[in-house]
Amino acid sequence: MRKYQHDAVQSDYKIMAIDDDLGILDSLKIVLGRNGLRVDTFQNPVEAIDRLKDEHYDLLLLDFIMDEMNGNQVVQNIRIFDKNLYILLLTGHKDLAPPLQTLKELDIQGYCEKSDNLDQLVLLVESALKSVDQMRIINQINEELAEKNAELEQAYLDTVKILRQTVEAKDPYTRGHSDRVSAFAVLLGRKLGLSENDLETLRVGGLFHDIGKIGIPDNVLTKDDRLTENEFSQIKEHPTIGAHILGNAKVFQDIIPIVKHHHERYDGHGYPSNLVGEDIPYLVRIVTVVDTFDAMTSNRSYRKALSLDTVKKEIQKCKGTQFDPVIAQTFLDIIDSDEVKEIQEQFKYSE
């Protein structure tokens, strides 16, 4: 019988054996022990499952036919909380082995017949531990890649934040606008009962919805007079420009619809895609309302902020045309709230 060669890392492996035959368990401990491997043994499968819930094991040697619980039942219980444990099934005879389909469904990596000569089992254990080694390496590589991707995404996020700040620096009248839109969108999303994931998309989407204005000439963006048809056409390009800026970063995929479509209208007369009604993504419809609200209640180069009463009448009038009527009404229900006033005060622009 060959000596297992991984002496330097043997202590890293945790092996468990479950069998209602104490003699088999003793034999496994002796044979694998001679090959430098320690095995924790259990006659009671319920106790073994409880141990697996509390401790990590790399390999499970499992008897298929047991009085208290069959091997397939044990595996079904284990796979609920551990999808990665490497499992070798032990059978008294090949005719008693489970069907191949069952092995696949339960993700059992192999099985071995019991016999007085355990050489085959030792070979399978060695092979299993090599697979465990490979999975460790793969997991480590994946973790390192995830860390690198997170660093790259954060760097991209920081870059886009700088671009957003540059947009607001170009037009001081819109400073704080994206922060307020972000906060209003989250507030409205909560009132509409959205999930935390959706609220986070609203938060980030609100922050970056106008990022495309970085591509609009300053003299158009800050003009204090009525825009010409050509100038307005340039302004209408900013959603598409913004979507293009964010399009290559995975971290921004969920917010691109907000960036690209926040100027769509419920009646289909918006831009850039003339989307109608529920063809406009739900989160976009939320941002559209609060974006317009903040624009109307803020000072701009071409006009002073409108009164709250005027703004409420305008939103009421535009339900079903510019805005989703249900979302617009929900915002009207909270428009006088302290929460809205607190957001306006928190992100108030001052010279």
**Residue 123 domain flag:** yes
| Contact indicator for 264, 288 with CB cutoff of 8 Å | yes
Residue 201 above 80 pLDDT?
A: yes
Q: How far apart are CA 116 and CA 127, in angstroms?
A: 20
Same domain, 237 and 110: no
3-state secondary structure of 316: helix
218 and 109 in one domain?
no
> Considering the chain, what percentage of its residues have pLDDT values greater than 90?
38
Tell whether 182 is covered by a domain.
Answer: yes
- Give mean pLDDT, residues 181-210: 94
Measured distance CA(222)–CA(257) in Å, rounded? 26
Pick the most confident of 71-80, 99-108, 139-148, 219-228: 71-80
The count of residues in the chain is: 351
pLDDT grade for 171, boundaries at 50, 70 and 90: low
> Residue 252: how many CB atoms within 10 A of its CB?
23
Residue 102, pLDDT score: 64
d(CA 129, CA 10): 10
Residues 310, 176 within the same domain: yes
What CATH number corresponds to the domain at position 52? 3.40.50.2300
**Residue with the larger pLDDT of the pair 165 and 193:** 193
Contact 10, 37 (CB under 8 A): yes
Average pLDDT, the chain: 84
Over residues 117-122, the mean pLDDT reads 78
Do 135 and 183 fall within a single domain? no
Q: Which of 142, 162, 194 is the last residue of a domain?
A: 142
Same domain, 213 and 102: no
CA 268 to chain centroid, in Å, comes to 32
Whether 170 is catalytic is no
152 vs 310: which has the higher pLDDT: 310
The domain in which residue 265 lies consists of 171-346
* Helix 196-208 vs helix 177-191: crossing angle, to nearest 10: 160
| Residue 173 confidence (pLDDT) above 80 | no
The strand order across the sheet containing 110-113 reads 39-42, 15-18, 59-63, 86-91, 110-113
pLDDT in tens, 283-305: 999 999 999 999 999 877 667 88
Residues 130 and 179 grouped into a single domain: no
pLDDT score of 320: 94
The backbone region for 193, taken as left when phi is positive above 0, alpha when psi lies in -120 to 50, beta otherwise, is: left
User: Does pLDDT of 5 surpass 60?
Assistant: no
One of 53, 213, 304, 319 is an active-site residue; which one? 213
Q: Evaluate if pTM is beyond 0.75.
A: no
Pair 213, 304 in one domain: yes
Q: Please give the pLDDT value at position 258.
A: 96
Which two tokens mark 275? 């989307």
Residue 151, domain member (yes or no): no
Question: Pick from 126, 142, 158: which residue ends a domain?
Answer: 142
Least confident of 46-50, 116-120, 237-241, 344-348: 116-120
Query: Under a CB-based contact definition with an 8 Å cutoff, are residues 320 and 266 in contact?
Result: yes
* Same domain, residue pair 82 and 133: yes
Taking 80 as the threshold, does the pLDDT of residue 162 lie above it?
A: no
pLDDT tens digits, 87-117:
888 876 566 566 666 667 667 777 777 776 7
Name every residue whose Cβ is closer than 8 Å to that of residue 187 and which is 6 or more positions away in sequence: 334, 339, 340, 343
* pLDDT bracket for residue 183 (50, 70, 90): very high
Average pLDDT over residues 320-332: 97
Average pLDDT over residues 233-245: 89
Residue 163: inside a domain:
no
3-state SS assignment for residue 113: strand
Half-sphere exposure of 62 (CA within 13 A, CB side): 29
In a domain, 154, yes or no: no
More confident of the two residues 97 and 322: 322
Q: Is residue 231 part of a domain?
A: yes
3-state secondary structure (DSSP) of residue 274: coil
Write down which residue in 142, 161, 179 finishes a domain: 142
Question: Is 86 inside a domain boundary?
Answer: yes
Which pLDDT score, from 0 to 100, does residue 279 have?
96
- CATH number of the domain to which 180 belongs: 1.10.3210.10
What's the number of domains the chain is made of? Answer: 2
In a 3-state reduction of DSSP, which class is residue 29?
helix
Give yes or no for residue 1 having a pLDDT over 70: no
Residues 137 and 231 in one domain: no
The answer to whether residue 156 is domain-embedded is no
